[in-house]
Amino acid sequence: MKATTPELPEAILDQAIDWMVRLHSGEQRPSQQAEFSHWLAANPLHALAWQALQHTEQRFQKLAPLPPQVALQTLESLGRQRLDRRQAIKLLSLFGAVGTSGWLAWDHLPVADYRTSTGERRSFELSDGSRLQLNTGSAVLERFDARQRLLELQRGEIHLDTHGDPRPFWVHTRHTRLQALGAHFSVRQDERHTDLQVDQGAVGIHRAAAETLIATQGQNYRITPTQSIRVAQPARDGSAWTRGQLVARQLPLAELARELERHRHGWLICADTIADLRVSGVFQLGDIDKALDALADSLPVRIERTTRLWTRIVPA
């Protein structure tokens, strides 16, 4: 059974987002806290919107102050676009979690040659005939020259079907250098590790001060700067997204929610009390709401949809 709470008015949610950005900007007027308290008490829906945003904030690390000019520019630039404005808090929370140095590092990333936005998956034919697929929210820089073929995975997830060419084919992530050896394979870069799944052929795993490791067809590895770990039975099929699917095998519900959230705008929150429920199944990435309804039909959970961008999975 699904439960739906009254939708928060967009104007009130916008006001709550404004207040959260201002209070975390690192630059406050003496009267600002009193003004915020007055706004919070003026309408019960204000408190509900604020509580919803605070719940999201708890999913990130403790916020570091944003540079004041960054918060101000964000508010100004998004003020004309309601949908993007409502998504801004997610980005601002992320930037706050990694601190000012993280913001600057992101801000100075090279312009990607291939990229996808949230919920988008795209396929490209490279100049050498290889096929590159990008999952949601991904970015890749291409550096092909006479000596080598190199892709730098800036963020997200890719699948490669490499084409024969005398030049070596490399994929670089922040954790490793991967050399395609006539391979079809998937690579996903997260904050702390890179995941590799080899569907065909072989891939060389290169790390600093370590011997090269060869991953062959059917093998999965999780790679950090210090080790390459063979994953015998991954809980998620690393290439199923190329078919528009998320294939889960005993995946904790909280992790499933995070995976589905990557493919939609807004927030998808899993209650802590059911976070460890194990889920197996095939979920269609083109219809996340349908996937959530299937969860409610098969598990002791219900789906709370507070707004179009705010959904929670809670105990039934």
Kindly state the percentage of the chain with pLDDT values over 70. 75
Q: Is 73 exposed, middle or buried (0-12, 13-18, 19+ CB in 10 A)?
A: exposed
For 252-292, the DSSP string reads EHHHHHHHHHTTSSSEEEE-GGGTT-EEEEEEETT-HHHHH
pLDDT at 214: 97
Domains of the chain: 10-107 (no CATH), 114-230 (2.60.120.1440), 244-315 (3.55.50.30)
Beta carbons of 257 and 313 less than 8 angstroms apart: yes
pLDDT at 24: 62
| Lowest-confidence pick of 14-23, 142-151, 294-303 | 14-23
Query: For the segment 168-218, what is each residue's pLDDT rounded down to a tens digit?
Result: 999 999 999 999 999 999 999 999 999 999 999 999 999 988 899 999 999
- The four Cα atoms 207, 208, 211, 212 give a dihedral, to 10 degrees, of 40
For the chain, the DSSP string reads --B-PPPPPHHHHHHHHHHHHHHTSS---TTHHHHHHHHHHH-HHHHHHHHHHHHHHTTSPPPPPPPHHHHHHHHHHHTT-HHHHHHHHHHHHHHHHHHHHHHHHHHTPPPPSEE--TT--EEEE-TTS-EEEE-TT-EEEEEE-SS-EEEEEEEEEEEEE----SS-EEEE-SS-EEEEEEEEEEEEE-SS-EEEEEEEEEEEEE-TTS--EEEETT-EEEE-SS-EEE-SS-SB-TTGGGGTEEEEEEEEHHHHHHHHHTTSSSEEEE-GGGTT-EEEEEEETT-HHHHHHHHHHHSSEEEEEEETTEEEEEE-
Q: What is the 3-state secondary structure (H, E, C) of 171-190?
A: EECCCCEEEEEEEEEEEEEC
Top-confidence residue, 53 or 315? 315
Q: What is the C-alpha to C-alpha distance for residues 70 and 72, in angstroms, rounded to an integer? A: 5
Top-confidence residue, 30 or 120? 120
Query: For the segment 136-175, what is each residue's pLDDT rounded down to a tens digit?
Result: 999 999 999 999 999 999 999 999 999 989 999 999 999 9
Residue 253 has pLDDT above 90, yes or no: yes
Q: What is the C-alpha to C-alpha distance for residues 128 and 292, in angstroms, rounded to an integer? A: 40
User: 174 vs 101, 171, 223, CA distance in Å?
Assistant: 16, 10, 10
Average of per-residue pLDDT across 283-310 = 91
Query: For the segment 267-281, what is each residue's pLDDT rounded down to a tens digit?
Result: 899 999 999 999 999
pLDDT at 21: 66
Find the radius of gyration of the CA atoms of the chain: 22
Q: What is the C-alpha to C-alpha distance for residues 267 and 229, in angstroms, rounded to an integer? A: 31
pLDDT at 54: 65
pLDDT at 145: 95
User: 173 vs 37, 114, 224, 242, CA distance in Å?
Assistant: 45, 15, 10, 20
Residue 230 has pLDDT above 80, yes or no: yes
Kindly state the percentage of the chain with pLDDT values over 90. 59
pLDDT at 28: 59
Single out the residue of 306, 314, 308, 309 nearest to residue 51, CA to CA. 306
DSSP-assigned beta bridge partners for residue 115: 139
pLDDT at 26: 55
* Mean of per-residue pLDDT scores for the chain: 81
Q: What is the C-alpha to C-alpha distance for residues 48 and 306, in angstroms, rounded to an integer? A: 10
Residue 289 has pLDDT above 90, yes or no: yes
Query: For the segment 87-134, what is each residue's pLDDT rounded down to a tens digit?
Result: 444 444 444 444 433 433 433 444 689 999 889 999 999 999 999 999
pLDDT at 306: 82
pLDDT at 104: 37
Residue 84 has pLDDT above 70, yes or no: no
Which pLDDT band, with edges at 50, 70 and 90, does 86 fall under?
Answer: very low
Residue owning tokens 């950090």: 224
DSSP-assigned beta bridge partners for residue 62: none
